[in-house]
Amino acid sequence: MGRPLVAMLIAILALGGSQAFAQTSPPTYSADSLYNLGNSYARAGKPGLAVLSYERAALLTPGDADINANLAYVRAAAQVPVTAPSRFARVALAIRPSWAAWLGVLGLALIGAGLLATKIAQRYSRMARSGVVLGAALIALTVSNAMLLWPRLHEAVVLVDQTPARVSPAPMADTAFVLREADSVSITAEHEDFVFIRSRGGSSGWVASASLEEVVPRSPRL
């Protein structure tokens, strides 16, 4: 009589604990799953959500050829202008940002160790100098990687076709220009339910927040 009761109690506690964990655990992102999700959206005819998923996947693995190819393909199909990355961007984004981050730490350590070595022991001065140079190169790679990805942190993808960009953050304000679905914009300010965006063409206007989704979500909806 007692054992079933205890077992039931343990089961209830385990279920409640798992549910609580599921509710509180933040979502996890994988480049491959985001890429596959983008493919699903693209096949379903939702270019906005597809581009958003590809952009997120590219944030994790910017050098992935499949992600970049499908991203350009969906944008072209949605009649959104595609800009080819520069050679510098291709080099700097060849490695994953996480690797670049650790390489930056390694570079910092090399510089520090090299400087200390040149100060302490003269015998290894050449090796120490080489270490300093290598560390500086690694840090430069990390900084370049970060500089190229920094704008993407403030980018958003238009999810609704023919989204009006208004001259002021009010629902009844005049329309300055219209954005296409799957278009990428950069967010520079926000006011209540509107965000001030700058399009790739350089035009600025206020867009309803509900029509956009940030590439790096502050409060993920998807």
Partner 1 sequence: MRRFNLIVILLCFLVPVDHAMAQAALAYEAIQPARIKVGESAILRVTSFGRLKDITLPTVPGLTFEYLGRQQGLEYVNGTGVDASFIQIRVTPQFASVFTIPALAPGAQAIGLEVVKGDEPNPYRFPSQQPAPPKLITASLPKGEQLQAGGAVFVHLAIPTRDIYVGESVPVDIELGLRPGIVTTINGLPTLTGSDFTLNNLSKEPERREESIDGNDFVVLTWHSAIAAVKPGDFSLAAQTPISVKLTTLSGADKAVASRMAWGLLSSLYNGIAPKEVKFESAVSTMKVLPLPTDGQPADFSGAVGNFHVSSDISPVAAAPGDPLTLRLHVTGAGNFDRVDSAMLGKLDHWKTYPAKSKFTPNDTVGYQGEKVFEQPLIASQSGEQSIPGLQFSYFNPNTRRYEYAQTQPLNVTIGGSQASGGTPNAAVMAQALQGLRADHPASRHSMRDLRPLYFQALYLATTTGLALLLAGGLFIVRPSAVRASSKAGERLMAKVEAAARAGDAAGFFEAARQALLKTGQSGQDVERLFALADEVKYSHYRPVDKELQHWLGVVRGHLLGEGR
Query: Hey, which residues does 90 pair with through a beta bridge?
Result: none
Token output for 113: 């160790």
- Smaller CB distance to partner 1: residue 90 or 101? 101
Q: Taking contact as CB under 8 A, which single stretch among the options 6-14, 55-63, 83-91, 196-204 is the one that binds partner 1? A: 55-63
> In whole angstroms, what separates CA 133 from the centre of its chain?
30
Find the length of the chain. Answer: 222
One symbol per residue from 65 to 104: x for binding partner 1 (CB under 8 A), - otherwise; what is it?
A: -x--xx--xx--xx------------------xx-xxx-x
- Smaller CB distance to partner 1: residue 15 or 102? 102
Q: Is 29 in the site for partner 1 (CB under 8 A)?
A: yes
- Smaller CB distance to partner 1: residue 7 or 162? 162
Cα first-last separation, the chain: 47
Token output for 110: 């090399």
Least distance (Å) from partner 1 to the CB of residue 161?
Answer: 5
Report the C-alpha gap between 120 and 102 in whole angstroms.
27
Q: Taking contact as CB under 8 A, which single stretch among the options 5-13, 84-92, 147-155, 196-204 is the one that binds partner 1? A: 147-155
Q: Is the CB of residue 205 less than 8 Å from the CB of residue 197? A: yes
Least distance (Å) from partner 1 to the CB of residue 164?
Answer: 8
Least distance (Å) from partner 1 to the CB of residue 136?
Answer: 13
From the list 154, 191, 201, the residue with the least C-alpha distance to 170 is 191
